[in-house]
């Protein structure tokens, strides 16, 4: 009998063992907790509870990125329309937000919209919402992992492509991963494409830490939900009440780090393996890199994109950059 099954969770493909455990989740958690500095990849923050908590975060008074980026999209529609190829297909990396995506689509009136997402149920739900809002717009959702090259639907083959990657999600990756992703996006979109990408900006550390450690404790819940998820899904005994949420600014790497810090010496098991943390030890759960004009440009160039135009919100907190896949000026 096979011990492996590829089950569908919602409509998402997940590789589960015979007792229903997500193998990739268990492998990442066991490996991450075995390291000297415990660290678990941030993508595991987003189970159903985590995704809902992130939605709640975007509405918090301290969490400015969503509002700032929305302001840019609202205020510069005509400039986007002038700079972006007419009649393009917008290829969004992710399912699309109910606010930001419609603002872009209204501004530039594209010929098609192609959302790419690994999670089929989110993808179909948001594609349906968008079709209802833009009845004349062909919408072609593609269920795929955009960290790898994606084959776009035949219907958009001959259209110019605009990649859209808002939210500063690029900041959740370390530099080598973000460069790999930018290069993969270029492979997916073609070497004549444009890319509109959100990058959160370096600013006062107090503003940044407040955005990731809000007074209502929602970000803390989002972070600690990962430990709860491990307990739920991996037969684990992490004493979540002995952990606290920490958000700190790492100036050397220009990033906010989220950690779960042990309030006391603790021991626990995960999937039958024993772990210990001394008081003050942490599990590193997320990086959120911030950029300035130069570091954002350098990252794009390293990823194979030439930055062409840049917009910021009225408070200078967040940026949207339009880049081109073509090499605009070659080396002397």
What's the rounded Cα separation, in Å, for the pair 323 and 320? 10
Cβ 167 to ligand AVI shortest distance, Å: 5
Long-range contact pairs involving 32-40 (C-beta distance under 8 Å, separation at least 24): 32/283, 33/270, 33/273, 33/275, 33/283, 34/275, 37/282, 37/284, 38/277, 38/281, 38/282, 38/283, 38/284, 39/283, 39/284, 39/285, 40/226, 40/283, 40/284, 40/285
Cβ 87 to ligand AVI shortest distance, Å: 30
As given in the structure block, the two tokens for residue 53 are 């908590």
Task: Give the residues lining the site for ligand AVI (CB under 6 A).
Answer: 57, 65, 167-169, 171-172, 212, 219, 286, 288
Cβ 172 to ligand AVI shortest distance, Å: 5
Q: What is the DSSP letter of 281?
A: -
What's the rounded Cα separation, in Å, for the pair 274 and 232? 17
Residue among 161 and 289 whose Cβ is closer to ligand AVI: 289
Cβ 58 to ligand AVI shortest distance, Å: 8
What is the number of the residue whose Cβ is closest to ligand AVI?
A: 288
47 Cβ contact list (under 8 Å, min separation 6): 225, 229
What's the rounded Cα separation, in Å, for the pair 104 and 8? 32
Residue among 62 and 235 whose Cβ is closer to ligand AVI: 62
Helix and strand tally (H, E) in the chain?
Answer: 10, 15
Cβ 275 to ligand AVI shortest distance, Å: 24
Cβ 63 to ligand AVI shortest distance, Å: 6
Residue among 15 and 55 whose Cβ is closer to ligand AVI: 55
Residue among 158 and 251 whose Cβ is closer to ligand AVI: 251
């Amino acid at each position: 009998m096979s011990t492996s099954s590829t089950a569908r969770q919602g409509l998402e493909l997940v590789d589960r063992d015979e007792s229903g455990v997500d193998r990739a989740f268990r492998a990442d958690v066991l490996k991450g907790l075995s390291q000297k500095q415990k660290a678990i990849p941030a993508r595991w923050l987003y189970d159903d509870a985590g995704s809902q908590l992130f939605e709640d975060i975007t509405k918090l008074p301290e969490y400015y990125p969503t509002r700032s980026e929305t302001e840019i999209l609202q205020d510069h529609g005509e400039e986007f329309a002038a700079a972006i190829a007419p009649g393009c297909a917008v290829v969004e990396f992710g399912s699309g937000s109910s606010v930001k995506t419609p603002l872009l689509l209204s501004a530039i009136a594209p010929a098609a919209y192609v959302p790419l997402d690994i999670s089929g149920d989110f993808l179909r739900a948001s594609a349906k919402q968008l079709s209802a809002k833009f009845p004349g717009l062909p919408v072609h959702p593609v269920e795929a992992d955009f960290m790898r090259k994606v084959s776009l639907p035949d219907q958009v083959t001959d259209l110019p492509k605009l990649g859209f990657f808002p939210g500063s999600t690029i900041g959740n990756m370390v530099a080598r991963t973000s460069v790999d992703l930018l290069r993969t996006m270029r492979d997916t979109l073609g070497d004549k494409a444009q890319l509109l990408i959100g990058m959160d900006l370096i600013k006062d550390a107090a503003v940044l830490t407040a955005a990731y450690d809000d007074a209502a404790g929602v970000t803390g819940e989002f972070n600690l939900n990962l430990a709860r998820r491990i307990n739920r899904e991996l037969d684990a005994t992490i004493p979540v009440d002995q952990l606290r949420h920490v958000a700190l600014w790492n100036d050397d790497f220009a990033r906010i780090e989220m950690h779960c810090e042990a309030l006391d010496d603790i021991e626990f098991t995960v999937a039958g393996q024993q772990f210990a943390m001394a008081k003050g030890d942490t599990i590193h759960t997320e990086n959120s890199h911030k950029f300035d004009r130069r570091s954002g440009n350098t990252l794009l160039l390293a990823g194979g994109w030439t930055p062409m135009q840049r917009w910021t919100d009225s408070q200078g907190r967040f940026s949207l950059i339009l880049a081109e896949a073509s090499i605009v000026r070659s080396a002397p």
